[in-house]
Structure 1
Amino acid sequence: MPSKNLTPNEKKEKFESAVNYLLNQSYLKTKEANYYAALLNSIKSKLRQFNLPDDQSYDVINETYLRGIKLLDSGQEIKNPGAWIRVTSLNVIREISRKQEKEQSWDSNLIERQIAPEASNSFSSENYDDEDLRLLKLALKKLESKDYKIIVLREIQGLSWKEVVSNLASNGEVVNETCARQQGSRALKRLRQIFFELKNHHQ
């Protein structure tokens, strides 16, 4: 049946079938399986090209699927689902990469520059220099105590990792420098995540 004669439901089913084929290739005929295997490999290759993990391919496919359904619901048509998925998934990957670069470039020294140790527990409005500072303080407040503590020691008080370990040990926490660094990295990652969640929520 020519594509132009398809009903809206049939157009949607055609697109949904292509996405299902992409995710489940085992029952397809050899030619179809090869096509969708190549398409999935292309998505994973693009993820690696943008320094993103392969397992993010399912997030990319899911977002591509949602965009396709939205397009079809608007009355438009996807004549070649496979080609459309290829192009749209690349756009999705680029957007994910830009977002990640933006978050990774987030200046963690904002903590050191703008939050004094003595004010780190103070959240009154007169202490806020700007919206980012206010959200950063809220993000700090939402951290688990162990993450908050290591960020205060390392980023706010500016202690060396050896001094951080010593400080933690004086409070009964036995940890070596490698573990402290890993904990600090996770704490900053979590702080960034909370900060950007708050920022996106307030936009």
Structure 2
Amino acid sequence: MLQKILIANRGEIAVRVIRAARELGIKTVAVYSELDRNALHVRLADEAYALGGQTATESYLNTHMILEAVERSGADGVHPGYGFFSENADFARAITEKGVAWIGPPPAAIDEMGDKVSSRKAALRGGAPIVPGTTEFVTSAQEITDFGNEYGWPVAIKAAYGGGGRGMKVVKSADEVQSAMDSAQREAKAFFGRDEIYVEKYLTWPRHVEV
């Protein structure tokens, strides 16, 4: 049984993990940026450590500072929540290499499914039906335009290492491609620390089924 876990996240996500851990009798450690110094998750946790910085890249995506907080707190487990480092295999490996429990999918699974381009390839290998899209990262506006012309508009530009709608832009015509691509990459970099993108045919009225 874990005795103390560090939550490598912020806000409502961290609060939910803290409350669940408390019900299980597990102590919690919060981390925070300068802007989140007085945030609820910081006040609720048993311990809290400053990461420094104001942006996500400087704080919640700062591997060195989070690993330092793990060592200083003596936490024997790390919960990533969702977003930030939750789909980063390198971060998961860095945690397990320190002999600390990673409360999430194993790094190999994140390698396969955390990157949405790799997960599309895995689905194709398994014979699963998927929405038309690229099986490599997109690096130019022309690639997106060519895809839209071939498969029809609108299309969706998505962060390959993202989720939760962050770094996703719907493009209705070729005129919108460049600005949407730039915006998607900026948002992906800010929230996930990486700006690789891919493109899919946008489904206007899909149904979301959890598996």
TM-score by length of 2: 0.28
Which structure has the larger Rg over C-alpha atoms?
1
Which has the larger helix fraction? 1
Which has the larger strand fraction? 2
TM-score by length of 1: 0.29
